[in-house]
Amino acid sequence: MALTPEQEQIGKENFADSVNTLMNTEENPTKVTRRDAIKAAAATGAGLGIAYFGYEALAESDRVKVAFIGTGDEGNILLTEHPENYFDVVAIADLRPTNRERAFKGDPNDVRIGLVRKLGADRAKNIKQFASHKELLEHKDELGIEAVVIATPLVSHEPIALDCLEAGLHVLTEKLMARTVTACKNMIRKAKEKNLLLAVGHQRHYSVLYDNANSIVQSGALGDIKYIRAQWHRNNSFPAGDSWRKSVPKADEASLGGKDLSEFKFNDVNQLVNWRLYNSTGGGLMAELGSHQMDAASIFLGKVHPIAVQGYGGKNFYGIKHVGPEDKWDDDREIDDHIYVTFEFPGKNFKENNRDKCVVTYSSMNTNKFEPYGEIVYGSRGTLFMKTEKEAMLWKEDGRGSTGGGPDQRLWIVTGSAGGGGPQLEAYETSSGAAKGASGGPNWADNVSRGYREEMEHFAFSIRNHGPNYWPNGKPRPTAEGGLRCNGVVAMADAIMALTANLAMEHQKRIVFKPEWFDPDSDAAPETDPEIIG
Ligand SMILES: NC(=O)c1ccc[n+]([C@@H]2O[C@H](COP(=O)([O-])OP(=O)(O)OC[C@H]3O[C@@H](n4cnc5c(N)ncnc54)[C@H](O)[C@@H]3O)[C@@H](O)[C@H]2O)c1
């Protein structure tokens, strides 16, 4: 989507004004804090979740004793962002010596700062380190560990989570929840059996920006939503540019080279380091990138389950003669490098009329990054653009009989309209001039929290408040009653979308989703469904 800077600024101001208006209606006085929250988002980007998502800071003596398992790229982001007034980090574990060291020293930049810079050398030196999650669990009692954060490769989420739940620890695991739907169900069942929390790190559930955007969508101001386009396009065609292909560091080779790593689900150290490239250890572009964005699309559609999915995926670039300094790259990767999928979702009146559908397309490629990644919600009255998880823009639709609109037009949102309907978008009399006003408008890009911190804060808060019966009626406590926003059941639905899309591409089929796949008490799963794999 090619927009001028002025149009983007107009879109951002439209969004901010609409959120402020919606949050301050007379019917909605309790949500006034959201206005403060979004202003805080613009100002600081930190600690937004408190009050916003209905949880409170913990007393110092109440901090949860946590261990981090897997301190690679993402584990180090989480260590950097971890809320030190909710978590007392007592241990880390990683198979790779380089990543154990990195947990303390971080990288030479400000993105992953390491525990020493984060907590100070005195506190950091008390944090124990272990060479695997199994070794860590042997010491859980002496260290008083109550919960773990798992940021290991996809294939290991289930076995590590099961070991930790079995040991009586609450679990926050990174997305995708697991490599199969059966594995997701095993995790949910184990957490239920042990009455422990199982949270999954789809951070958009804790992003204030997404929550604000969802308020606009749920208000109905966008009109009929018939299409959402989500994409994450990258260009890894330059030889040094492939962020998913890594060399094995010397220290890791020295420690793990030639060793049998099958007890941890890897053939060898290369597969441990490059797990994203292989089908047995990763889930490809759909699991790594698409699951986040399908999560966002389904949040906007009210978390309904999709009807069907079809798509194309292929290894269209790697290993093929191509433009570049070399004629051909030998490449042993198994995962597709280009994917294009189409989901059908039920519209609000689908039950009465099965033509009422919303289509969501998702694409991810490796050879062109012209557009920044994001999701665009196309409504009959307005368009919402979520850009790179950090910016949100809103424009009104223009058309015959409308009051103006389009990407150059400022708008406001009118609540309690004369027609008795819900909130509506109205164009300002002036257009782009207003958006360039003296205030400069919101400029969030550098400081908006993507939700990691809030996700960990809420996990800790929920641990302290989960009570003896976290699973009333066999289901995790609902969000409205203080339950996790992305619990196992919610996250399994995201996994089902991603993994079924992979099956649709592999088997070249339009697959209809079955309700029993979403039921943790049923053994049915897409990967074992004879209608798909038969
Ligand atoms: N939420 C997000 O935005 C986001 C972003 C990136 C990655 N992720 C997810 O985070 C997870 C990790 O990704 P990454 O990029 O950090 O991978 P990575 O390869 O950089 O790090 C994974 C680490 O886990 C360690 N590990 C594997 N098995 C272990 C075990 N049994 N005990 C202890 N350590 C073990 C590995 O040695 C490695 O250091 C993946 O599930 C990925 O999808 C999430």
Q: Whose CA is nearest to atom 4 of ligand 1?
A: 74
Percentage of the chain surpassing pLDDT 70? 88
Going from the Cα of 280 to the center of ligand 1, the distance in angstroms, rounded, reads 15
- Cβ-proximal residues to 321 (8 Å cutoff; 6+ apart), any chain: 327, 328
User: Which atom of ligand 1 lies at the shortest distance from residue 154's CA?
Assistant: 41
- Collapsed DSSP state (helix, strand, coil) of residue 357: strand
pLDDT digit string, tens, across residues 81-118:
999 999 999 999 999 999 999 999 999 987 999 999 99
Task: pLDDT band for 419, please (50, 70, 90 cuts).
Answer: low
pLDDT digit string, tens, across residues 459-497:
999 999 888 788 988 889 988 888 999 999 999 999 999
How many whole angstroms separate alpha carbon 478 and alpha carbon 460? 16
Q: Looking at residue 34, what is its pLDDT?
A: 46
- The C-alpha angle with vertex 360 and arms to 358 and 363, in degrees rounded to 5, equals 170
Q: Looking at residue 71, what is its pLDDT?
A: 98
Kindly state whether residue 196 falls inside one of the protein's structural domains. Answer: yes
Q: Which of 99-103, 141-145, 227-231, 400-404 has the lowest mean pLDDT?
A: 400-404
Kindly state whether residue 200 falls inside one of the protein's structural domains. Answer: yes
**Mutational test site, ligand 1, from 174, 246, 276, max ligand atoms within 8 Å of CB:** 174
Q: Which of 142-146, 171-175, 198-202, 479-483 has the lowest mean pLDDT?
A: 479-483
Going from the Cα of 248 to the center of ligand 1, the distance in angstroms, rounded, reads 15
Tell me, using a 6 A CB cutoff, whether residue 284 lines ligand 1: no
Q: Looking at residue 158, what is its pLDDT?
A: 98
Tell me, using a 6 A CB cutoff, whether residue 114 lines ligand 1: no
- Collapsed DSSP state (helix, strand, coil) of residue 164: helix
Tell me, using a 6 A CB cutoff, whether residue 153 lines ligand 1: yes
pLDDT digit string, tens, across residues 210-241:
999 999 999 999 999 999 999 999 998 887 77
Q: The domain containing residue 181 runs over which residues?
A: 60-206+451-487
Distance of alpha carbon 69 from the chain centroid: 19
Tell me, using a 6 A CB cutoff, whether residue 255 lines ligand 1: no
Q: Looking at residue 233, what is its pLDDT?
A: 97
Residue bearing tokens 């280009």: 338
Tell me, using a 6 A CB cutoff, whether residue 281 lines ligand 1: no
Q: Looking at residue 23, what is its pLDDT?
A: 75
Going from the Cα of 177 to the center of ligand 1, the distance in angstroms, rounded, reads 12
How many whole angstroms separate alpha carbon 455 and alpha carbon 184? 20
Kindly state whether residue 306 falls inside one of the protein's structural domains. Answer: no
Domain count across the chain: 1
User: Which atom of ligand 1 lies at the shortest distance from residue 203's CA?
Assistant: 1
Q: Looking at residue 445, what is its pLDDT?
A: 45
Which CATH number characterizes residue 465's domain?
A: 3.40.50.720
Contact of 18 with 221, CB cutoff 8 Å? yes
- Which residue type is seen at 73? D
What is the mean predicted confidence (pLDDT) over 318-345? 81
Comparing CA positions, the residue from 318, 307, 408 lying closest to residue 366 is: 318
Q: Which tokens sit at 393?
A: 């823009």
Kindly state whether residue 238 falls inside one of the protein's structural domains. Answer: no
Kindly state whether residue 213 falls inside one of the protein's structural domains. Answer: no
Q: Looking at residue 291, what is its pLDDT?
A: 97
- Collapsed DSSP state (helix, strand, coil) of residue 93: strand
Kindly state whether residue 405 falls inside one of the protein's structural domains. Answer: no
- Collapsed DSSP state (helix, strand, coil) of residue 339: strand
**Mutational test site, ligand 1, from 69, 76, 80, 94, max ligand atoms within 8 Å of CB:** 94
Q: Strand ranges (DSSP E) for 347-494?
A: 357-365, 374-379, 382-387, 391-396, 411-414, 424-427
- Collapsed DSSP state (helix, strand, coil) of residue 14: helix
pTM of the model: 0.93
Kindly state whether residue 332 falls inside one of the protein's structural domains. Answer: no
Tell me, using a 6 A CB cutoff, whether residue 520 lines ligand 1: no
Going from the Cα of 148 to the center of ligand 1, the distance in angstroms, rounded, reads 14
Q: Looking at residue 442, what is its pLDDT?
A: 45
**Mutational test site, ligand 1, from 68, 74, 160, max ligand atoms within 8 Å of CB:** 74
Q: Looking at residue 377, what is its pLDDT?
A: 98
Q: Which tokens sit at 416?
A: 């309690």
User: Which atom of ligand 1 lies at the shortest distance from residue 75's CA?
Assistant: 16
pLDDT digit string, tens, across residues 3-52:
999 999 999 999 988 988 887 665 554 343 444 444 444 433 444 566 67
Tell me, using a 6 A CB cutoff, whether residue 94 lines ligand 1: yes
What count of Cα atoms within 13 Å lies in the side-chain half-sphere of residue 464?
A: 19
User: Which atom of ligand 1 lies at the shortest distance from residue 201's CA?
Assistant: 1
Tell me, using a 6 A CB cutoff, whether residue 196 lines ligand 1: no
Tell me, using a 6 A CB cutoff, whether residue 159 lines ligand 1: no
* Phi and psi, residue 197, nearest 5°: -80, 140
Query: Residue 56 class from Cβ within 10 Å (0-12 exposed, 13-18 middle, 19+ buried)?
Result: exposed
Task: Quickly count: other Cβ atoms within 10 Å of residue 159's Cβ.
Answer: 19
Higher pLDDT, 358 or 437: 358
Polymer length of the chain: 534
What is the mean predicted confidence (pLDDT) over 132-145? 98
**Mutational test site, ligand 1, from 134, 152, 207, 267, max ligand atoms within 8 Å of CB:** 152
Tell me, using a 6 A CB cutoff, whether residue 96 lines ligand 1: yes
Residue bearing tokens 């980090």: 89
Tell me, using a 6 A CB cutoff, whether residue 160 lines ligand 1: yes
Kindly state whether residue 346 falls inside one of the protein's structural domains. Answer: no
pLDDT digit string, tens, across residues 158-172:
999 999 999 999 999
Burial string for 214-239 (b: 16+ CB within 10 Å, else e) reads: bbbbebbbbbebeebbbbbbbebbee
Q: Whose CA is nearest to atom 39 of ligand 1?
A: 72
